[in-house]
C-alpha cells in the first residue's frame, strides 16, 4: 500500500518517516496533486503543507479529481487544513485542530502562512504561523502568565505584521505599547519552554490517521458523492500542465509537445492529422454519438493487435511508456470508435465513389502518389493478355485463403474482420475485395514464372515462403 504526503515546514521529514512509510513530496503547488495521483497511483493522499504567493496553490478541482478516482485524501496543519475545510462536503477528510478551526470559520486564510527555507535546507521556518502564536498565547493565559485582554492584544499585534515578519521578537516589539513590560518579560520566559506547535501536532495526527487506515488493509475506493464535471481549465491543467517523468527527469506534457513541434521533421503532418482527429471526435460529440461498449472493446483489441500488445504485460509496458492509464487507453480508443462511426456514415453517403478520391488525394498530399501509380501500373502490365491468371483465384479458394496468402507476401495489415475492413477500405463489398486479391495473386504468379523463366501458361498456385515479399517489378 502506498501513501503520498505533501510535507514541508510543519514536520521534519525524517520524523514523519518514523511515523509513516510513504512517498514524501514537497509542499503542494498547482498540478502537483494531479501529477502525483496519476504518476504514483497511491492508495491514500495527505496534504499537510502547500505553497501560495510565489507559486499557484493547489486547486480545488485537483482535489475533486482525486475524490473522483475514489482515493481517500486527508488534510491537516496548513494548506491541507484550509483545503479540507473548503472541500470536506465533497469527501476530503480534515484532521486536527487547525482544520476544525477553519471548518468553524474561526481563522483567516493567512493564519497558517509562514516563511521557510528551501528544500535543501529542510524547510526550516523563519517566521511563525498565527495558529501557533495564538495557541501559545492562549496556553500562557490559561497558565496565568497573561490576562485574556493581553492575550487578545498580543494576537492582534502578531496579525498586524506581514506573515514573513511574524517572529516572536517582532511580535513582542509590536505589542510593547499595548502590554505591560512585566507581562511581556514573563511571557518571553514562558514561550521559550512552552511554545505550542499546533501545526506539528496536526501533521503527526494526519500521519497516524493514514497509518491506522492502512492497518485495516488497502482502503476501498469509493465512488464520489458528486457528479464529476471537468471544466476547460481543468482539462488544460490535466492535458498540458501535468508533469510526467522519464529517466528521473520531470517535465510538463506541454514541454514534450513543444519539443516535438520544434524538432520533428514531419511535425506539420503530425499536427494536421492530430487536429483532424480532434475535429472529427468533437463533431461526433456534438452529434451525440456514443459508441457502444462492445464497439469500444473491438477498437481496443484492434489497436492492441496492430501494435503487438495482445499480451497484458506488453500492454502494461506500453501504457507506462506512453504515460497513459488503462482508463485513458480506453478513452483514446473510444475516440477512435466515435470517429469510425462518422467514417461509416461518410462511406454510406459516398457509396458509389467510395474512398477513391480521398485516398488518392492523401497520397498526393504526402508525396507518395507517383510511387504507388508506378506499382499499380507494374501489376497491370503483368496481367495484360493473361485473363486466365486474373480470374484463377475466384474459382478455387476462399476470401480467407486469398487474404492469408496476400498478407504473407506484402506489408498489408488487416487487424479486424476482413469484411468490415473491406468496407472501411473503400471496396464495394466482399466480392470486390476477393476479385482484387485474386488479381494481386495472379500478378505474383506471373512474376514468379517470369523470374524463373518457366512461363508456360497457368499453373497451380505456388507455395510462397513465409514472410517473403514480392520484389518490385520494372515491367
Phi, psi angles (nearest 5°) of residue 472: -65, 140
Which uninterrupted H or E stretch holds 105? none
Residue 456 grid coordinates = 508456360
The CATH code of domain 3-111+200-221 reads 3.40.50
Query: For the purposes of burial, counting CB atoms within 10 Å of the CB of 312, is it exposed (0-12), middle (13-18) or buried (19 or more)?
Result: exposed
Q: From residue 206, how far is each of 22, 124, 248 by CA, in Å?
A: 12, 20, 29
Tens of pLDDT, residue by residue, the chain (475 residues): 999 999 999 999 999 999 999 999 999 999 999 999 999 999 999 999 999 887 899 999 999 999 999 999 999 999 999 999 999 999 999 999 999 999 999 999 899 999 999 988 889 999 999 999 999 999 999 999 999 999 999 999 999 999 999 999 999 999 999 999 999 999 999 999 999 999 999 999 999 999 999 998 888 788 888 888 888 999 999 999 999 999 999 999 999 999 999 999 999 999 999 999 999 999 999 999 999 999 999 999 999 999 999 999 999 999 999 999 999 999 999 999 999 899 988 888 887 888 889 899 999 988 999 999 999 999 999 998 766 555 554 556 788 888 888 998 998 988 888 888 888 888 888 888 888 998 998 898 888 888 887 545 554 544 444 444 444 433 3
The answer to whether 237 touches 62, Cβ cutoff 8 Å, is yes
pLDDT of residue 464: 46
DSSP string, 362-408: HHHHHT-HHHHHHHHHHHHHHHTT-HHHHTTHHHH--HHHHHHHHHH
Q: Which letter does DSSP use for residue 458 in this model? A: -
The answer to whether 82 touches 63, Cβ cutoff 8 Å, is no
Residue 455 grid coordinates = 512461363
If we measure between CA atoms, which residue out of 201, 222, 209, 223 comes closest to residue 3? 209
Phi, psi angles (nearest 5°) of residue 467: 80, 0
Amino acid at each position: 500500500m502506498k501513501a503520498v504526503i505533501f510535507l514541508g515546514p510543519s514536520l521534519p521529514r525524517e520524523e514523519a518517516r518514523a511515523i509513516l512509510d510513504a512517498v514524501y513530496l514537497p509542499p503542494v503547488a498547482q498540478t502537483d496533486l494531479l501529477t502525483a495521483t496519476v504518476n504514483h497511483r497511491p492508495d491514500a493522499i495527505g496534504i499537510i503543507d502547500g505553497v501560495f504567493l510565489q507559486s499557484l496553490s493547489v486547486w480545488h478541482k485537483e482535489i475533486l479529481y482525486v475524490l473522483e478516482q475514489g482515493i481517500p485524501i486527508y488534510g491537516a496543519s496548513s494548506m491541507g487544513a484550509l483545503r479540507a475545510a473548503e472541500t470536506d462536503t465533497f469527501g476530503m477528510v480534515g484532521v486536527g485542530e487547525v482544520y476544525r478551526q477553519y471548518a468553524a470559520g474561526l481563522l483567516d486564510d493567512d493564519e497558517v502562512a509562514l516563511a521557510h527555507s528551501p528544500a535543501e535546507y529542510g524547510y526550516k521556518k523563519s517566521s511563525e504561523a498565527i495558529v501557533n502564536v495564538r495557541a501559545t498565547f492562549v496556553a500562557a493565559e490559561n497558565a496565568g502568565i497573561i490576562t485574556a485582554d493581553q492575550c487578545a492584544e498580543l494576537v492582534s499585534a502578531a496579525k498586524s505584521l506581514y506573515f514573513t515578519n511574524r517572529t516572536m521578537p517582532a511580535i513582542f516589539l509590536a505589542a510593547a505599547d499595548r502590554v505591560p513590560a512585566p507581562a511581556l518579560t514573563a511571557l518571553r520566559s514562558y514561550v521559550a519552554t512552552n511554545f505550542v506547535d499546533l501545526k506539528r501536532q496536526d501533521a503527526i495526527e494526519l500521519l497516524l490517521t493514514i497509518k491506522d487506515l492502512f492497518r485495516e488493509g488497502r482502503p476501498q475506493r469509493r465512488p464520489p458523492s458528486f457528479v464529476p464535471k471537468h471544466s476547460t481549465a481543468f482539462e488544460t491543467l490535466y492535458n498540458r500542465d501535468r508533469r510526467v517523468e522519464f529517466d528521473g527527469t520531470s517535465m510538463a506534457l506541454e514541454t514534450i509537445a513543444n519539443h516535438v513541434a520544434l524538432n520533428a521533421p514531419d511535425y506539420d503532418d503530425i499536427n494536421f492529422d492530430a487536429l483532424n482527429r480532434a475535429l472529427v471526435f468533437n463533431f461526433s460529440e456534438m452529434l451525440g454519438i456514443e459508441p457502444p461498449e462492445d464497439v469500444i472493446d473491438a477498437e481496443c483489441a484492434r489497436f492492441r493487435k496492430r501494435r503487438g500488445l495482445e499480451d497484458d504485460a506488453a500492454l502494461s509496458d506500453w501504457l507506462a511508456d506512453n504515460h497513459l492509464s488503462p482508463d485513458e487507453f480506453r478513452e483514446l480508443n473510444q475516440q477512435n470508435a466515435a470517429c469510425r462511426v462518422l467514417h461509416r456514415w461518410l462511406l454510406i453517403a459516398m457509396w458509389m465513389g467510395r474512398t477513391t478520391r480521398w485516398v488518392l488525394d492523401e497520397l498526393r498530399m504526402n508525396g507518395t502518389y507517383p510511387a504507388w501509380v508506378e506499382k499499380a501500373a507494374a501489376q497491370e502490365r503483368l496481367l495484360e493478355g493473361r485473363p486466365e491468371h486474373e480470374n484463377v483465384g475466384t474459382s478455387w479458394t476462399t476470401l480467407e485463403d486469398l487474404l492469408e496468402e496476400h498478407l504473407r507476401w506484402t506489408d498489408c495489415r488487416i487487424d479486424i474482420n476482413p469484411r468490415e475492413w473491406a468496407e472501411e477500405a473503400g471496396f464495394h463489398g466482399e466480392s470486390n475485395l476477393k476479385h482484387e486479391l485474386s488479381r494481386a495473386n495472379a500478378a505474383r504468379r506471373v512474376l514468379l514464372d517470369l523470374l524463373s523463366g518457366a512461363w508456360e501458361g497457368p499453373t497451380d498456385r505456388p507455395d510462397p515462403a513465409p514472410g517473403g515479399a514480392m520484389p518490385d517489378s520494372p515491367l
